[in-house]
Amino acid sequence: MTRWTLYSAPGTCALASHIALREAGADFDLVTLDFGSGQQQSSDFLAINPKGRVPALVTDNGVLTETPALLAFIAQSFPQAQLAPLDDAFAFARMQEFNGYIASTVHVAHAHKRRGGRWADDAAAIEAMRAKVPQTMSACAAQIEARLVGPWVLGDRYSVADGYLFTVAEWFAGDGVDMKHFPHIVAHLDRVRARPAVKRAIAESGG
Amino acid sequence: MTRWTLYSAPGTCALASHIALREAGADFDLVTLDFGSGQQQSSDFLAINPKGRVPALVTDNGVLTETPALLAFIAQSFPQAQLAPLDDAFAFARMQEFNGYIASTVHVAHAHKRRGGRWADDAAAIEAMRAKVPQTMSACAAQIEARLVGPWVLGDRYSVADGYLFTVAEWFAGDGVDMKHFPHIVAHLDRVRARPAVKRAIAESGG
């Protein structure tokens, strides 16, 4: 297959796909966009991803977006890396359920801190959204903490869900979540951060 | 396997999983919650889904939530129904990408109409969110319209993504989207609505 390209940006959820690709041993090019200058809205990038977001993964067959879809695809494309329970539909669904919760609830809660303008135009409304982020993100952390028996999201085996949880759990403290209430998440962060593929992805991601 | 139970509520995204189960020919019980009386927050239901949301699917192995995870799981559990491209990882990822966009962007935009209290406490802020819904949902419709070559989301073959698109596209007009700009979506709605499994799910869903 031809070489893939991952479009990423520092501090975004694209890190989860980046980690998955490094865990998989994939050979790919990394393009880091500068969100500060609005590069994700440039005509060049909109031609790649009309949604103007990262991650976007350019593959042989076309461009793929949406983190949960990318994570499952990377796991399926590199089965020898054992990054998902590919032979057990229920366990795979559990992984997808977790990834879906991160994407649709946790990431969305986080986005109300800096991206409130997506959902309201009024400055006071955007400020009201920002003010509630510590509460909503703490509620998300509590949901995750209660189910994280470890060492990994799915129990005994590392999966792409762990790199995704790591990516968003790194946002918690900055979003006003008091991490002393979430020891399982803190231990999980340390466990994931220690992995060579994760260290490499973090160093490469520039953020 | 033991009989499954789908927890649903009228007017919610649970309809997408309901449609998928009917398309699959699954044998399951349907439990319809009354959101008006807050049944989704009852201790009985929180014991099933601590997130207090629908859909929740009780299976032999445990409870599954999050629509994209359920849709893929239903398709994988009933391969003879051919509700997803299970033998083509890239096509499967395309389906998951679409479902992920619906869950994380379209459904989230819609939720700012009636569920703004999830992301802000201030009444004026919640009203400001509601005011922007026609704009955000129209932008979502435009993204979908531009890619919907039809007859189905994935092209020639119906998949669980079609029941999901149908479910949220039914919200567009009520959310202030002017459907005359989106003829492909309107034609898709009609095409899905005509399917026997969809008619049955709509009639059973009570809404």
Give the integer Cα–Cα distance in Å for B40 and B48.
Answer: 10
Please tell me which residue of chain B has the smallest CA distance to A91: B61
- pLDDT band with cut points at 50, 70 and 90 for residue B34: very high
- pLDDT band with cut points at 50, 70 and 90 for residue A49: very high
Q: What is the per-residue pLDDT across A182-199, written as a single tens digit (0 to 9) for each? A: 999 999 999 999 999 999
Please tell me which residue of chain B has the smallest CA distance to A128: B120
Give the integer Cα–Cα distance in Å for A54 and A67.
Answer: 9
Q: What is the per-residue pLDDT across B80-120, written as a single tens digit (0 to 9) for each? A: 999 999 999 999 999 999 999 999 999 999 999 999 999 99
Q: A64 and B97: CB-CB below 8 Å? A: yes
What is the residue-averaged pLDDT of chain A? 96
Q: A118 and B136: CB-CB below 8 Å? A: yes
Output the pLDDT for position A193: 98
Q: A109 and B131: CB-CB below 8 Å? A: no
Secondary structure tally for chain B: helices H, strands E? 9, 4
A-B CB pairs within 8 A amount to 145
For residue B150, give the 3-state DSSP assignment: coil
Please tell me which residue of chain A has the smallest CA distance to B102: A104
Give A4-82+200-205's CATH code, choosing from 3.40.50.300, 3.40.30.10, 3.40.1390.10, 1.10.1670.10: 3.40.30.10
For the segment A144-167, the average pLDDT, to the nearest whole number, is 96
ipTM above threshold 0.95:
yes
Instruction: Determine which of A96, A112, A148 to mutate to test the interface with B (most B C-beta atoms within 10 Å).
Output: A96
Cα torsion at A110, A62, B158, A107 (round to 10°)?
0
Output the pLDDT for position B168: 98
Output the pLDDT for position B150: 82
Output the pLDDT for position B196: 98
> Chain A: nearest CA to B109, how far in angstroms?
7
What is the residue-averaged pLDDT of chain B? 96
Per CB-CB distance under 8 Å, the chain B contacts of A64 are 90, 93-94, 97
Give me the residue from A118, A120, A136 closest to B128, CB to CB.
A120
Give me the residue from A94, A103, A124 closest to B125, CB to CB.
A124
Contact B63, B56 (CB under 8 A): yes
Give me the residue from B90, B112, B124 closest to A124, CB to CB.
B124
Query: B98-107, B144-153, B160-169: which range is least confident on average?
Result: B144-153
Instruction: Determine which of B65, B66, B74, B145 to mutate to test the interface with A (most A C-beta atoms within 10 Å).
Output: B66
Looking at domain A89-195, its CATH architecture is Up-down Bundle (1.20)
Closest CA to A73 of B61, B183, B17, B99: B99
The verdict on pTM exceeding 0.95 is yes
Sign for the pseudo-dihedral over CA of B145, B147, B152, B156? positive
Q: B96 and A51: CB-CB below 8 Å? A: no
Output the pLDDT for position B194: 98
For residue B26, give the 3-state DSSP assignment: coil
pLDDT exceeds 70 at position A1: no
Q: Where are the domains of chain B?
A: 4-82+200-205, 89-195
pLDDT exceeds 90 at position B1: no
Please tell me which residue of chain A has the smallest CA distance to B66: A97
Give me the residue from A59, A89, A104 closest to B66, CB to CB.
A104
